[in-house]
Amino acid sequence: MSDDQIYGIIRRQVRPSNDPDDLAQEAFTKIFLKLDQFKASRRFTSA
pLDDT tens for each residue of 3-44: 788 888 888 888 776 788 888 888 889 988 988 887 777 776
Q: Is residue 27 part of a domain?
A: yes
**7 vs 26: CA distance, rounded Å:** 11
> By residue range, what is the domain housing residue 15?
3-34
If you ran DSSP here, which 8-state letter would residue 37 be given?
Answer: G
40 falls within a domain: no
Whether 41 maps to a domain, the answer reads no
Phi, psi of 14 (to 5 degrees): -110, 160
pLDDT at 1 over 80: no
Within a domain: residue 46?
no
Residue 29 lies in a domain: yes
Q: How many domains does the chain have?
A: 1
Give residue 46's pLDDT.
55
CA distance 23 to 32: 14
Supply the pLDDT for residue 29. Answer: 92
User: Does 12 reside within a domain?
Assistant: yes
Which amino acid is residue 23, in one-letter code? Answer: L
